[in-house]
Amino acid sequence: MAKTIKQIIDEVKAEALSFVGAKRELVKLEAIEKGVPAGIKGVYYLIMAVVGLTALLFLQVVIALLFAMIFASDLLGAYDTVSALAAGFGCLVGLLLLIEFILLLLKKPITSTLEEKIISAQLDKLEDMEEKEAGEARRETATVTMVADVTDVHGESVIPGTESPDHPVVEVHQFTDEDDLQGN
């Protein structure tokens, strides 16, 4: 049986829509694949920069206090106070540099773990959206009314939807949420 031009156009249209949908999904997956690692690395480097700049700021305070110790007199115990402050800020700088060093050593485990968690969460979110869209598509498909030219046993054309004894109306069960829960 030869296909009509309308059937061919409908098939091409359906394939084009399928291609566009697949392309859209591919773009989403590529965005997740490339965007998440870049975002994780950006946040990681931002944290490293903040900790490093804070350490640099306190290092400057330590240097300033060391210069103050040089000029501090022993009057009223100023030398001891300035040296205690310098030691305290020096310990803080050491702690911040230790944090920087630990973050630097654990870069790979930290970033890869976060990437895996975020990517899996994004993929789960996409799957949930696809399931929701598929359910909505089933509901839309179930509520579409189709008109067809039906011929009865006597060769007369029957138009569905007309209510007469010669033309009975056939009712078709529509998809409901309860059917989805029961697996029908």
* Residue 58 CB contacts under 8 Å (≥ 6 apart), including other chains: 89, 92, 93, 96
Please tell me the predicted confidence (pLDDT) of residue 45. 93
Q: Give the residue ranges of DSSP H helices in the chain.
A: 5-71, 78-105, 107-142, 177-182
Asked if residue 145 has pLDDT above 80, the reply is no
Residue, of 49 and 147, whose pLDDT is higher = 49
Give the confidence band of 184 by pLDDT, cuts at 50, 70, 90. very low
Per-residue pLDDT of 103-130, as tens digits, reads 999 999 988 898 888 888 888 888 888 8
The contacts of residue 117 (CB under 8 Å, 6+ apart) are none
Q: Whole-model pTM?
A: 0.54
* Mean pLDDT, all residues of the chain: 77
- In whole angstroms, what is the distance from residue 21 CA to residue 39 CA? 26
Return all residues near 107 (Cβ < 8 A) that are at least 6 apart: 44
The yes-or-no verdict on residue 84 having pLDDT over 60 is yes
Mean pLDDT of 133-148: 61
Instruction: State how far the Cα of 142 lies from the Cα of 177, in Å rounded to an integer.
Output: 11
